[in-house]
Structure 1
């Protein structure tokens, strides 16, 4: 009975995440998602988020390391949405990495902050890189069956980063891993 209850709870959690992703994506597409801008410590947010996801990495025997190099860790942004970006990128990195490690790096460049999520996972072919931020899409249908997912995570990340007046890029080689680079203004202003 306990096993069945755990399976039901797990399925319910996955369904809740799916519903939340679809709602967020539809709000972003309609231009109705508003950022809740506050000042917060980016180093603390990244550290806590990595700690929360460390159990996923441990289940796969992956190293999950964080490197923070910020003179000033305070930013003005939507902390929940920055966390959502990081969770999506880290979850993907862990999901698509079977051996090796996942690293998170936080740097500052003048008035911008940069989040890097690097993995030693399966990587993405050059031909598929142009499609990874499209909604409901994974680069390979076989991967959908093996790894699961809806194909909304990176589409949401891309839209959130643009809403924050930032940029996202990816470098990847098939079989060698991927590096996602998110650059955000240190201070995100309310849209006029």
Structure 2
């Protein structure tokens, strides 16, 4: 039997910022697990299919929108942005549901860590410049391979970088990664608002957002760090941070290397 339920979410000061509706499957353990897994699969298909179709339709419209008035073009871009944000929200909610149902899918293969980081940095160059941020990227002298789901690895790096950009307030960001024994140690340091000390214990909880970030990024979900932690732990990795209010944060994570192997590459230093 399925029963509806809901939750109200509040920040560290008790202020309301979110509401969720979900379904509880009330039956024996095995049947509950099967029902929840089936519900997640159906929901994934039913939500993603129309979003994908609308994305393709918008891309076609935008290609032929050059002759439209500027106001109409801007309206289509707003629709495109809203569609992208909805797609990300669906992805986040489904990952949370899969984590809690212990059905998180992983399509692992050997992945170049250096190439993944470089591609993520390149994709964010425009956002970095538009945010008036000085970005320093210092790759390792070695390229490391990890056995990881490529989509999940890109998600992890992208979300940590995205948080740094959003909460830096036009300051500086430094990205680096090195070998740490049999692991890769990846770090992103920012000069942003930091995380209040009394709230740091909550940072990896679902739906939690710091009380000092709402003016900088009011539209966040508070789900990314929860998902990232679970993805890393499922692959033998760890995540942590150091943060001081008004000075910034350092977020780091580790991932095991493949047979502790790597290959030499030419070190370069990128600044945006």
* The two structures share one fold, judged by TM-score above 0.5: yes
Give the unaligned 5+ runs of structure 2: 1-71, 260-272
Report how far residue 22 of structure 1 moved.
0.6
Report how far residue 119 of structure 1 moved.
0.5
Number of the residue aligned with 2:83: 12
Of stretches 2-11 and 66-75 in structure 1, the one that deviates more from structure 2 is: 66-75
Number of the residue aligned with 1:180: 251
Structure 1 residues 128 and 6: alpha-carbon distance in aligned structure 2, compared to 1, 3 A threshold: same
- The reply on whether 1:144 has 2:203 as its aligned counterpart is no
Partner Cα separation in structure 1 for residue 253 and residue 204 of structure 2: 13
Cα RMSD after superposing both structures: 1.6
Number of the residue aligned with 1:35: 106
Partner Cα separation in structure 1 for residue 213 and residue 196 of structure 2: 13
Question: TM-score, normalising length from structure 1?
Answer: 0.92
Report how far residue 18 of structure 1 moved.
0.6
Give the unaligned 5+ runs of structure 1: none
Partner Cα separation in structure 2 for residue 146 and residue 117 of structure 1: 19
User: Cα deviations across residues 47-67 of structure 1 (Å, max 9, x unaligned)?
Assistant: 111110121111111022221
Q: Tell me which of 117, 132, 136 is aligned to 2:203.
A: 132
- Partner of 1:2: helix, strand, or coil? helix
- The residue correspondences of 1:24-173 to structure 2 (distance < 5 A) are 24-140=95-211, 143-144=213-214, 146-147=216-217, 148-173=219-244
Number of the residue aligned with 2:35: none
Report how far residue 34 of structure 1 moved.
2.6
Report how far residue 71 of structure 1 moved.
3.0
User: Cα deviations across residues 23-54 of structure 1 (Å, max 9, x unaligned)?
Assistant: 11111221111321211211111011111012
Higher relative contact order (CA 8 A, sep 6+): 1
CA contact (8 A) 1:77 1:187 kept: no
CA contact (8 A) 2:189 2:250 kept: yes
Off by >6 Å, runs of 4+ in structure 1: none
- Partner of 1:143: helix, strand, or coil? coil
CA contact (8 A) 2:144 2:184 kept: no
Question: TM-score, normalising length from structure 2?
Answer: 0.66
